[in-house]
Structure 1
Amino acid sequence: MFLCIVIDGMSVRVGYNGVWKFFDGNPVVKGVSFSVGSGEIVCLLGPNGSGKSTLFRMALGVVRPDRGTVLVDGLDVFSNVIEVRRRIGFMPEEPVIYESLRIGEFLDFMFSVYGVKPGKERVMEVLGVLGLVEHLGKLIGELSHGNKRKVMLASLMLRDPSVLILDEVFSGLDPGMARVVRMWMREMARRGAGVLVSTHILPIAEAIADRVLIIHRGSIVAEGRPEELKELFGSKELEDIFLEVTGYDRSVEEVVKALYTEDVE
């Protein structure tokens, strides 16, 4: 039994409620509150070191907030870590994978951990879409970095998690594969999953996000639908909004000017 929270008619898949986290006395997450609803894709944008990965690790039960709570499907994460992890499909920025296994062995291991039994035809279909069939006989350690990420993606695509947490999932993907991932995310949302994704590729964020959150120095500094943010900030592109609210627009201009300004003695 667990509490299913509903806000504005939408069940909440992930909820952060006033969470703080300190490392060595320094706040890296500062009173953050937001939710990801069933059927919703939320893009969390922010510079490196802004707190994105810490928030993801809180939802996975890896990092405990010093204040506040994190719920997944109404379950308190740190009271129900095992069940919560079964509900989440997580894609880390750097693949964490058993390199001494072959692709099929790794997938079988993941299926046993999560209690799923996709048919062989379905497995081969997903591997074919991801371009992995020709690599089936290889050890994962022999694969390129990009193909290791595809193996991780395959393990998620062959499950049915209620929550997807995807950290820089588009990094290193060619345009065709990026489109496959976008379509998969949309299909998962259509089926009721909540999708929380980070990316530095802002045009992709603008194209896929139902809602965008921008985090800077541990605080949410902007939140809304892409079109709402554009209206609020004067019809700018999402990239311009991101640079403005994180203070990067001025520093970028200064760097470019410095590069092309002749020294005068």
Structure 2
Amino acid sequence: MISLHIEKKAFDSFELTDIPIDINRGEINLLLGHNGAGKTTIIKSMFGLLTFEGKVLMDGHDISFNSQEDVDFFKKRLAYIPDDISLLDYLTPREYFQLMKSSFGSEKNESFLQNLIDIFELEKYLNIPILNLSHGNQKKTQIVSQLLRKSEFIVFDEPTNGLDPDMIIILKKVLEKLKAQGVGILLSTHNLNFGQDLFDNAIILRDGEIKLNKRREDIQDIFGNITLEETYTKVNEEYYEYVEGLLNDMDSNSKRY
């Protein structure tokens, strides 16, 4: 298990306090919230990219990001697929996959790589420079390059951005397969429909505060058998009441010609 506990992380506009995040093997943990809620800060803190008061544990081991040994131990077991696509775009996907394999000392056989290439329909793009690929095919290249690691844990930020409907459906099936194989996944997404059937635990943030951190069965006990979108709306009820007032003002201010 990976455990992140942010005791305090201050910003100009707000601060994160008492934020616990656990990634369990064989489970998908959703991280939900509006832009600026603190999701990216949580992810960057987990990877030691931001300083904060708190700690990161991996299977009980307290990770120090000042220790190269700890960093290597952490990175070897955790894959990260960010929202932004950062690739060596002068390479082709084939070259990039081989570089990634060599960079993390992978002994994985070629059949697994080919399996991923087939799943994400990249075969005909393998010899084209990444720079010349569509955004969607760049995204798929990024996903394959990280799944190739066969990590025990995966952090996935906005996984559906840039993917077409076919690939969104296929990615969902891939995540279900990984979960069944015991991989622990943290999934940060704005696509509530995508996360609906995947999650075991959901965390909902607003302005740096955790509004909900519950397992699926506990959410159903509290709210009944409703959708994730409806749950999100109920948890943020005050905000949506405010928005409803603004929408009603549109009626009173409208002009008819």
Which of these residues, 144, 166, 171, is aligned with residue 134 of structure 2? 144
Corresponding residue pairs, total:
251
Q: Which runs of 5+ in 2 are unaligned?
A: none
Deviation of residue 201 (structure 1)?
A: 1.3
For residues 2-38 of structure 1, what are the alpha-carbon distances to aligned partners after superposition, in whole Å with 9 as ceiling and x for unaligned? xxxxxxxxxx2x10224321234x5442210131211
Q: Which runs of 5+ in 1 are unaligned?
A: 1-11
1:7 corresponding residue in structure 2: none
- Structure 1 residues 96 and 203 mapped into 2: Cα distance closer, same or farther (>3 Å)? same
Paired residues of 1:91 and 1:165 also in contact (CA < 8 A): yes
**Structure 2 residue identity aligned to 1:75:** H
Instruction: Tell me the SS of whatever aligns to 2:196.
Output: helix
Deviation of residue 105 (structure 1)?
A: 1.2
1:5 corresponding residue in structure 2: none
2:199 corresponding residue in structure 1: 209
- Structure 1 residues 120 and 217 mapped into 2: Cα distance closer, same or farther (>3 Å)? same
Instruction: Tell me the SS of whatever aligns to 2:99.
Output: helix
Distance 2:107 2:160 in 1: 27
Instruction: Tell me the SS of whatever aligns to 2:154.
Output: strand
Which of these residues, 226, 238, 256, is aligned with residue 247 of structure 2? 256
- Structure 1 residues 73 and 188 mapped into 2: Cα distance closer, same or farther (>3 Å)? farther
217-226 or 100-109: which moved more? Answer: 217-226
- Cα RMSD between the aligned structures? 2.2
Instruction: Tell me the SS of whatever aligns to 1:71.
Output: strand
Instruction: Tell me the SS of whatever aligns to 1:99.
Output: coil
Which of these residues, 53, 73, 76, is aligned with residue 40 of structure 2? 53
Paired residues of 1:92 and 1:167 also in contact (CA < 8 A): yes
Distance 1:39 1:168 in 2: 20
TM-score by length of 2: 0.88
Distance 1:249 1:122 in 2: 46
- Structure 1 residues 144 and 73 mapped into 2: Cα distance closer, same or farther (>3 Å)? farther
Paired residues of 2:136 and 2:164 also in contact (CA < 8 A): no
Which of these residues, 11, 16, 20, is aligned with residue 8 of structure 2? 20
Deviation of residue 42 (structure 1)?
A: 0.5
Which of these residues, 190, 196, 202, is aligned with residue 200 of structure 1? 190
67-76 or 216-225: which moved more? Answer: 67-76
Instruction: Tell me the SS of whatever aligns to 1:187.
Output: helix
Deviation of residue 159 (structure 1)?
A: 1.7
Which of these residues, 49, 55, 59, is aligned with residue 73 of structure 1? 59
**Structure 2 residue identity aligned to 1:17:** H
